[in-house]
Amino acid sequence: MIPLQAVVSPPRKQKGRYYWAFSIKVSPRWGDEQVRAARSLRRVCSAPDDLDARTDMSLASLFSGMALANAALGAVHGFAAAIGGVFPAPHGAICAALLAPVIRTNIEALQQRLPQSESLERYREVARLLTGKSGAKATEGVNWVRELCSDLKIPRLAAYGITRADVSTICEKAAAASSMKGNPIVLTSEELQSTLIDAL
């Protein structure tokens, strides 16, 4: 799935270049191109011989790697680390199931506690790129990702044996994961639990 955390992590600008925490110089256009290309994911799954769609996905893969190498991960991977070592779930499937819930929680937390955050504006831009709508709100990006996961039949985390009884332990481990340091905002215990329950 799209590593949106790398796209929305707040950069620091210096002398016309962007610097992310933990990173070298990087252009935010990498993330934009990756998101734009990823709109072909639905098409490539339904028509694997579509060369244009496959080219888009190759570009999405390239830009994703470049963005992740130069930014940080975030809550999706924080959860994936806590889940992957205990439950028989593929890493990519865990990340896909968590992506929309994490984006939702991050947007809500940013709106409540950091409404002027550059990350919140990046979520809006991601929504505009994904939906193709110039006036898209950040939450429309969440809906786009949810619909994509539904169309691609991404299993919810409950399919791997995760239950509400596991939520507290997983969230405790996820909060301590190094990937969480790259999240655009520090999430509370309640927000982490709400996010994980949303993905079950």
- For residue range 53-94, list pLDDT tens digits in order: 998 888 888 877 777 777 778 999 999 999 998 999 999 999
Distance (Å, whole) CA 136 – CA 50: 28
Range in 24-28, 58-62, 77-81, 162-166 with the lowest mean pLDDT: 24-28
Residue 150 C-beta-side C-alpha neighbours within 13 Å:
7
* Residue 12 φ then ψ, to 5°: -110, 130
Question: pLDDT tens-digit profile of 93-131?
Answer: 999 999 999 999 999 999 999 999 989 998 998 899 888
Q: What pairs with residue 19 in β-bridges?
A: 12, 25
| Domains of the chain as residue ranges with CATH | 4-199 (1.20.1090.10)
- Other CB atoms within a 10 A radius of the CB of residue 112 amount to 10
Backbone angles phi, psi at 11, to 5 degrees: -85, 160
* Structural tokens at position 148: 């994509």
pTM (2 decimals)? 0.83
